[in-house]
Every structure is written in C-alpha cells, then in structure tokens.
Structure 1
Amino acid sequence: MPTSTANTNKRNEIIEVASKLFYEQGYHRTGVQQIIEGAGAAKGTFYAHFKSKEELGVIWLRTRHTKWNTSLVEFLKDKDVASEKILAVFDFLGKWMKDCDFRGCAFLNTLAETPDPNNPLRNEIAGHKQKLLELFQRLIAEHQTKLPKDKCQNLAASVFLLFEGTLVEMQNFRDTWPLEAAKSQLARML
C-alpha cells in the first residue's frame, strides 16, 4: 500500500475513533491519548495529521455536519411539497434521535462543553445551526409564497426554535412525546 494511502487511512481512522468518542462521552472528557490508542496510532502520527485536539474537533464537527445533512437530504428526497418537507425534517429528527438512543445533537452537546465564544468549535456549531435555519427559511418561503419576506423569516425562525427545543427535550426526557407535541404545533403554524 502506498505511503500516502496509508497516511490517509490512518488519518481517517483517527477521525472515526475521535468522532465516536467525542459523541459518546463528550469532547472534553475524551483525551488525545485515548484517541491515539483507539486508532492504533503513534503519538507522532496523530500530530502529523492534527496540530491539536481542537483542530481534530473542528474536523469532527465538519464531518458530522456533512453526514447529518446528507442523511437529511436523503430523507427528504421523496417529498415534493414544502410543507411535507418541513414536517419531514421533524420526522427525520425523531428517527435520528431513536437511532442514537437519544444521545442528542453533537453540536449542542459540544456547545454545552465550550463556554468560550471565540473557540473555533463554536464557529462550527454556529455554522451548522445557521444552515439549518436557512433550510427552514427556504422551505417556509416555498410554502408561504404570498407572505411578506419578513413574516416568512419570522415564521422560519419560530420553526427553527421549535425544532431545537424538540431536540433538546427529546434528549432530556429520552422519549418522543416532545416530537409529537412539536409536530402538532407545527401543523397549526403551517
């Protein structure tokens, strides 16, 4: 196997191990040594690929963002109408939460661990949430074609906040009742 392929594979393996550990036990509770051991890498190999744990954390969040959004797009592909898509985003949340045993959002979990607003992890978290808000803005604009732009933006922000609150409370209660309540409210909003 060529050296560059081996290096890429080891880098990807480190990211994969770190992703699992960061999500399951938390970003700050996971140490670099634990990642190194889990990936079967040497310390030098880790630092050849990543300047720091923080850099790896940023890459993890970017990877997570791509994975989550790719899964969401796939989930929505059979929906033709904007209102169906909006409701389906909430259905996707329910599926995602059940699949992860109500572990919650990697971004919000990391946010809770990262109080420094200037930390690069916070930029990734804000970027991920901004993209979700923009998705709701597009879908609401498609659904409410006669509504003025500012009212569409306001409604989209309300849907986004309903989604985020549902996510947090599903994790908190480890149950789907917050999703059912949110979808009922969402149907009235639409």
Structure 2
Amino acid sequence: MATEHTHKTAPKAPARDRLLAAADELFYREGIHTVGIDRIIEHAGVAKASLYNTFGSKDELVGAYLQGRHAHIAARLTQALTRHHTPRSRLLGIFDYQAEQFAEPTYRGCAFASASAEAPAGGTVERAADAYRAWIRSLFTELAAEAGAPEPAVLARQLHFLYDGSGMSARMDRDPTASAAARVVAEALLDAALATRPDPTAAPATPEGPSSTGSPAPRQA
C-alpha cells in the first residue's frame, strides 16, 4: 500500500515579530529617517494594516525597535561580563565587549546616536536614548564601586566618555581597534582612582597641641 507523505509548512512568525525584525535590520543599516513604512511592511511580508494595528504609527515602531536594541545589548553585555571574575576585569570587560561589536561586519555605530541625529527633543527617540544611556552609566557606576573606586560616579562618567568616543571612532574612522585604545586609557583612569583611596592600615594622625585627654599642659616654673 502506498504511503502518503504530507509536508507541513512551518508557521510564519507573528506579524509583530516580523515587523520588528524588518525594522531592526533596515533602521539600523539605513537609518530611521531614510526607511519608510512601505519598506518595512514589504520586508516583513505583512499588510500595512498589520503595522498600524500592532504599533499604531511609525514612531511607536521606532520606539519598539530601540527598546529591542537596548534589551539585546544589555543581554549580550551582561553575558560577556560573566567571563570575567574580578571587579577590575569586569569593569574593563565592557571595552572588550565593544571590541567584539566593532569586529562584526554589520556594525554601523551606536543605534541610539544614529536615531538621535535628527530626532525632535522630548520625543520617543530621546526617551529611548536617555534610558539606554542611563543604564550604561549605572553599569559603569556599579562596577566602579565594586572595583573600589572612592568616587564611582566620577569614574563612571569618565569611562562613559571613553565608551562613547570609542564607538564614534570605530564608526567614523572605520577602526575596529578603537576599543583597545579606549581600554588602555580606562585602565589608567581606574588605577589613578584607586591610588586615591585612603590606606586602611595607616596609623591615625597624632593630634597637635594639648594632649588628647584635654588636660592643659603643666606650667613651667
């Protein structure tokens, strides 16, 4: 008896997932201002109504795209830092993670910086960029504190400058080694910060003047 073979087609991903995947690819590669709605829905293979029913507008889709970028970076960076086993190496490991990003052939700079270039103040893009940058700064601050920096917020701001500059250099100069230079400077800043810590083994300073009991010194005859 002949056996009948049936072939089932794998179900398509939900429209939301396909729209986000298309937005992530096109917005990052070409820019949120260049890519229109028609390009997104064509690339995603969905009807225009699906986009508006799911997100309501292009602005909401852009917001979801940037939130997805934030979550993706946070997950990858957090995972990358598990390879480091001391507070110092975890702090500097952020720049090692950047090196991995820069080496990817699809790297086109910071998605938040690109999206913010022409975005209006106070809008969806600015809010998403602010949230992402606050997260990066808080991560630097937390790791700086764990490494023993006496003023972790100050060191975190300095390291955030390096992080930004490294990304800009990698994109504008097409220099995937930019993070290596940033890491060297980051290490010097960390060492300088740790050198200012008070020595817990140092003897307390001896008070000058009358004895510490408060009794006046005896008068000479």
Contact 1:87 / 1:186 at 8 angstroms: preserved in 2?
yes
AA aligned to 2:22 is V
Structure-2 residue corresponding to 1:125: 129
Q: CA deviation at 1:101?
A: 4.0
Structure-1 residue corresponding to 2:168: 168
The structure whose residues are more often helix, as a share, is 1
Contact 2:16 / 2:54 at 8 angstroms: preserved in 1?
yes
Larger radius of gyration: 2
Structure-2 residue corresponding to 1:178: 178
AA aligned to 1:91 is D
Q: Distance in 1 between matches of 2:164 and 2:67?
A: 19
TM-score of the pair, normalised by structure 2 = 0.77
Contact 1:102 / 1:174 at 8 angstroms: preserved in 2?
no
Q: How does 1:64-75 map to 2 (within 5 A)?
A: 64-75=69-80
Structure 2: unaligned runs, 5 residues or longer: 1-10, 191-221
Contact 1:17 / 1:38 at 8 angstroms: preserved in 2?
yes
Counterpart of 1:50 (choices 50, 55, 80) is 55
Q: 1:94 to 1:108 in 2, by over 3 A?
A: same
AA aligned to 1:172 is M
Identity of aligned residues (%): 28
For the pair 1:140 / 2:144, whether they are aligned, the reply is yes
RMSD: 1.5
Q: Distance in 2 between matches of 1:71 and 1:159?
A: 19
Moved over 3 A (4+): none
Q: 1:57 to 1:73 in 2, by over 3 A?
A: same
Contact 2:99 / 2:177 at 8 angstroms: preserved in 1?
no
Structure 1: unaligned runs, 5 residues or longer: none
AA aligned to 2:128 is E
TM-score of the pair, normalised by structure 1 = 0.90
Contact 1:17 / 1:35 at 8 angstroms: preserved in 2?
yes
Look up the SS of the partner of 2:80 in the other structure: helix
For the pair 1:86 / 2:91, whether they are aligned, the reply is yes
Give the paired residue count.
180
